[in-house]
Amino acid sequence: MNTHKRTFSQRGLIVSCQALEHEPLHGGDTMRKMAIAAQMSGAIGIRTNGVHDIRSIKGAVDVPVVGLIKRDIPESDIFITPTLDEVKAILDAGADIVALDVTDREGRLDIACELIAYVHQAGAAVMADVSTFEEGVAAERLGADYIGTTLSGYTPYSPQLEGPDFELVRQLSEAVNIPVVAEGRIWTPAEAVKALEAGATYVVVGSAITRPQLITTRYVEALRKLIP
């Protein structure tokens, strides 16, 4: 296990480098190269999914790596690092920070409490992915080190916004004493700036940088307005 866990050196951009199995960039060293490019251009951290990419990216960059494992569990809506098995695998792969679902559903807050304690005893930090203000406050109480707005719009009871949830970033930044990470649907540099202005300490950008199929779709759809 990596015993030299890193923390972010300054405020700034974290690039999420993720390609799931059904995505064209999945596999090989593609995410590793994405992460190298991100670090080269000033990213202060990388967020990535799965043992293969966590390990490979840890070997290629100096900035802290936030690791998660997405796994679908039957009859559950929790998919970001759902159980202790994933936590152990993420730590074993060398992540500095473990991202996990800290939403208030399916008794998750009790489970999250145990997972947070496990990560801490292993010497790593926790990024709590939440969907509402109340969940963010609960995450701080449970001992999380960072709160990410990652899941706003991805639970049925959070606002279903097309763009980033700046209001959640603002509310949490005013209320909690741990860093707030703005994450989810940030597509432009102007939106990233707005997230920092709303109080975020860090901004995660994923799809807008590392999912070419989604970037292409946005261009094609924009052009379609003129080319029916």
Ligand X SMILES: CC(=O)N[C@H](C=O)[C@@H](O)[C@H](O)[C@H](O)COP(=O)(O)O
**Binding flag, residue 14, ligand X (CB under 6 A):** no
Among 8, 16, 132, 166, binds ligand X (CB under 6 A): 16
Q: Would you count residue 186 as binding ligand X (CB under 6 A)?
A: yes
Using CB under 6 A, pick the residue from 56, 150, 173, 201 that binds ligand X: 150
CB-nearer residue toward ligand X: 201 or 207 = 207
Does the protein bind ligand X through residue 194 (CB under 6 A)?
no
Task: At 213, list the tokens.
Answer: 């199929």
Using CB under 6 A, which of 184, 194, 198, 199 touches ligand X? 184
- Residue pair 168/153 in contact (Cβ under 8 Å)? The answer is no
- Site size for ligand X, by CB under 6 A? 15
Q: Does 152 help bind ligand X (rule: CB under 6 A)?
A: no
Would you count residue 204 as binding ligand X (CB under 6 A)? yes
Question: Looking at beta carbons only, is 53 or 183 nearer to ligand X?
Answer: 183
Binding mask 109-128 for ligand X (x = CB under 6 A): --------------------
For residues 20 to 59, the per-residue mask of contacts with ligand X, x marking binding by CB under 6 A and - elsewhere, is: ----------------------------------------
Q: Which residues bind ligand X (CB under 6 A)?
A: 16, 18, 68, 150-151, 154, 183-186, 204-208
